[in-house]
Amino acid sequence: MPPSPQRSGDPEAGYRYLLYGDVVRSGIPLELLRSLLGENADDLGREGDSKGLPYMFNAVEAPNGVKVAAPTCLTCHAERLNGQLIIGLGNNTSDYTRSAPSPLFDRAVEMRYGKNSPEWTAYWPFSRSQKALALYIRTAVRGPNPADKIFAALAAHRRADDLMWLDSAQFQLPIEVVPTDVPAWWLLKKKNALYYNALGRGDFARLSSASAMLTLTDTAEARRVDAYMPDVIAWIRTLQPPKYPYPIDSVLAAQGRVVFEKNCSKCHGTYGEKPSYPNRVVELSHIGTDPLLAQSYQKYPEYHTWYNRSWFAQGPHKGELRPTNGYIAPPLDGIWATAPYLHNGSVPTVADLLQSTQRPRYWRRSFDNSDYDPTRLGWQYRAEDKPTSSDTYDTTLPGYSNSGHTFGDRLSDEERRAVIEYLKTL
Interface with ligand HEC (CB under 6 A): 23, 73, 75-77, 145, 147-148, 150, 180, 182-183, 187-188, 191, 194-196, 208, 211, 232, 263-264, 266-268, 282, 287, 289, 327, 329-330, 332, 335, 338, 341-343, 350, 353-354, 405, 407-408, 419
* Residue placing its CB nearer to ligand HEC in the complex, 32 or 350: 350
* Residue placing its CB nearer to ligand HEC in the complex, 122 or 216: 216
Closest contact distance (angstroms) between CB of 409 and ligand HEC is 9
Amino acid found at 412: S
Closest contact distance (angstroms) between CB of 411 and ligand HEC is 6
Phi-psi region of 279 (alpha: psi -120 to 50; beta: other; left: phi over 0): left
* Residue placing its CB nearer to ligand HEC in the complex, 334 or 387: 334
CB count within 10 Å of CB 266 equals 12
Buried b (16+ CB within 10 A) or exposed e, 17-46: bbbbbbbbbbbbbbebbbeeeeeeeebbeb
* Residue placing its CB nearer to ligand HEC in the complex, 153 or 332: 332
* Residue placing its CB nearer to ligand HEC in the complex, 33 or 419: 419
* Residue placing its CB nearer to ligand HEC in the complex, 109 or 182: 182
CA-based nearest residue to 259, from 419, 403, 131, 115: 419
Provide the CA 368 distance to its chain's centre, in angstroms: 19
Q: 339 and 92 in contact (C-beta within 8 Å)?
A: yes
CB count within 10 Å of CB 389 equals 10
* Residue placing its CB nearer to ligand HEC in the complex, 343 or 359: 343
CA-based nearest residue to 400, from 272, 262, 293: 293
Closest contact distance (angstroms) between CB of 115 and ligand HEC is 28
CA-based nearest residue to 140, from 403, 396, 349, 367: 396
* Residue placing its CB nearer to ligand HEC in the complex, 181 or 394: 181
Closest contact distance (angstroms) between CB of 82 and ligand HEC is 19
Closest contact distance (angstroms) between CB of 162 and ligand HEC is 21
Dihedral angle over CA of 216, 220, 222, 226, nearest 10: -150
* Residue placing its CB nearer to ligand HEC in the complex, 119 or 212: 212
Closest contact distance (angstroms) between CB of 211 and ligand HEC is 4
Q: What's the rounded Cα separation, in Å, for the pair 93 and 90? A: 9
Q: CB within 8 A of 214, min separation 6: which ones?
A: 24, 26, 71, 125, 126, 129, 154
Closest contact distance (angstroms) between CB of 298 and ligand HEC is 15
Closest contact distance (angstroms) between CB of 214 and ligand HEC is 8
Closest contact distance (angstroms) between CB of 329 and ligand HEC is 4
Buried b (16+ CB within 10 A) or exposed e, 145-180: bbbbbbbbbbbbbbbbeebebeeeeeeebeeebbbb
